[in-house]
Chain A
């Protein structure tokens, strides 16, 4: 049953004190699809990503990834299994070069250990060279090939987001989680990002996308999941979700109330 799903989340709940940041959430993601998760601020989207990737542990529920329940796995084990992410608040290794950042992404796919590395044995040299080549390929994919030698810190905000993406791709993921990749990008960059997301999908990588930019979400995603106060309030094609009264209320309701409250 669960094996048939690429990713299946069942009754997932995460409590912060009395607050249910993620509340009994269930959904599934098909292999090779692009699924968006949307919802107002504080809806629990980032927390859901943290649970999927193993940075936080849920209070209850299960996460089936390729037929395996990965609840309780450590983040690095989940990376090994083929799940990677970008962060809403950028988490680059700022004191390393752009290239090195992406090379770190190859960690999960390489194995040289202390002796091989310390003595520069042939296996290490071969592997190191492959790491560099792969990393450069990923940098080129996101269009940062020429920035390879710069310190990650010195990149512009948009470039840093792209670098996070390249680094996540370097782990050769089967599923990639993008947490608000368009935040802070201009319209031109968002258009580039959309092409990039398609490219990633065409590489056979399944994409789960948290995004506030509705234009991007509506155009790029096959399916949309809507969270509000930690709960799923709608799920379906972009059109279905857009016309769902509950979704409109979740988004507009908040705004109208805020408006009334202040005025």
Chain B
């Protein structure tokens, strides 16, 4: 009977399913695990420090995944996740510096602090769309000012120095390779956890409330509570990422976690693709490597003075470059890089849309 076969096809798990579901992640894992072994042979010739940068990609991936759950799946925008990173970074650093708590514990505590603060401000989730964006913007500004002005605790603009390195019970992670593995193992686990999350009743609930809150409620979904939960989870991810950031850089100040950072995080989500867990890696990769590639290009053509000029001026140009990239992607590839490309391979559909044709795009 047709129906029976249908049930079998869709509902029942078959032997190959595990492999099929995990093929992509396995390839990614192998790539990540072996990367430090061969990256050196690529790094040199192209003048990009891959390993150093890949640590950052891992950190940003963690935040971007959370932000993607919040924005891409649940449809709730946040301009405050840079601030949650800052909160995590400061919480972890201060606990390690002042209270001498081991770093593997301060990282967990940093996540808790970020969650607590997200719960305190969670009433703003009753706001919708632009209003929520404005409220989270307010939160980002307040956090920045508080970090700057609470000088007795945070030393203000001067920042915190000598932040201890990452550690596991008994071992301090000192090498760049060690940090790379530390960060990426966490990032990978978070990717898998989040992927599982979206392929479940919880992920469906998020997508449902994104589309129609009334219909979602009618299906028994406590929409306001789900928004709070996913907001808190994404804050935990951001707090974790902030803590990792602090412990690999050993120096932080409030300026790092300004609104700029929140916007760049959003750029990653949009670039990678809304409602796309793996896209977060793509978004983070582009954001981290784009400046380095731009910086290296003149070098490839033997023009050192241009490289010099570029690295001196890049930080001023960065917002503009990302602005341009963002606008181009929004116009031509509104479903993001990963979705656009996977659509291309799966349906042989061009990843580019013609913006002049109405109704094209997502």
Contacts and interface: CB of A to CB of B under 8 A. Distances in A.
A145 B6 contact: yes
A93 B220 contact: no
A100 B10 CA distance: 11
B72 to A, nearest CB: 11
A168 B218 CA distance: 8
Interface string A117-155: 111100011011101110010001000011011000000
A75 interface: yes
B196 A76 contact: no
B214 A136 contact: no
A110 interface: yes
B207 A79 contact: no
A169 B6 CA distance: 20
Interface stretch (B99-107, B197-205, B245-253, B309-317): B197-205
Nearest to A116: B200
Nearest to A50: B214
Given A74-B222, A93-B208, A95-B207, A103 B201 contact: yes
Contact of B212 (A84, A93, A105, A108): A93
B30 interface: no
B207 A93 contact: yes
B136 to A, nearest CB: 22
Given A76-B221, A106-B201, A107-B219, A94 B211 contact: yes
A8 to B, nearest CB: 21
- Chain A contact surface mostly: helix
A88 to B, nearest CB: 12
A136 B202 contact: no
B208 A104 contact: yes
Interface in B201-256: 201-202, 204-205, 207-208, 211-212, 214-223, 229, 233
Nearest to A75: B217
A91 B215 CA distance: 6
Contacts of A54: 217
B8 to A, nearest CB: 10
Given A103-B201, A104-B204, A110-B201, A119 B217 contact: no
Interface in A194-215: none
Contact count band on A: 35 or more
Most central of B10, B212, B214, B215 by chain A CB within 10 Å: B215
A74 B226 CA distance: 14
B20 to A, nearest CB: 15
B278 to A, nearest CB: 16
B11 A132 contact: yes
A112 interface: yes
Contacts, number: 123
B197 A118 contact: yes
B270 to A, nearest CB: 17
Contacts of A91: 212, 214-215
Contact of B208 (A80, A96, A125): A96
Interface residues on B, range: 20 to 34
B32 to A, nearest CB: 20
B202 A117 contact: yes
B217 A74 contact: yes
Given A95-B211, A132-B10, A148-B6, A79 B196 contact: no
Most interface-central of B6, B218, B221 (chain A CB within 10 A): B218
A107 B12 contact: no
B36 to A, nearest CB: 28
Nearest to A115: B193
B129 to A, nearest CB: 17
B219 A124 contact: no
A101 B212 CA distance: 12
A79 B222 CA distance: 10
A85 B214 CA distance: 11
B215 A87 contact: yes
Given A118-B196, A167-B219, A107 B205 contact: yes
Interface in A49-81: 53-55, 74-76, 79-80
A79 B211 contact: no
Given A96-B204, A136-B10, A119 B218 contact: no
B2 interface: yes
A121 to B, nearest CB: 10
B220 A79 contact: yes
Interface string B1-14: 01100110011110
10 contacts: A80-B220, A85-B218, A103-B204, A107-B208, A107-B221, A109-B220, A120-B196, A136-B6, A136-B11, A171-B220
Given A96-B204, A96-B211, A117-B200, 17 more contacts: A74-B217, A76-B217, A92-B211, A93-B212, A96-B207, A103-B204, A104-B205, A107-B219, A108-B221, A112-B201, A114-B229, A119-B193, A128-B201, A129-B13, A145-B2, A168-B218, A171-B219
Interface of B: 2-3, 6-7, 10-13, 193-194, 196-197, 200-202, 204-205, 207-208, 211-212, 214-223, 229, 233
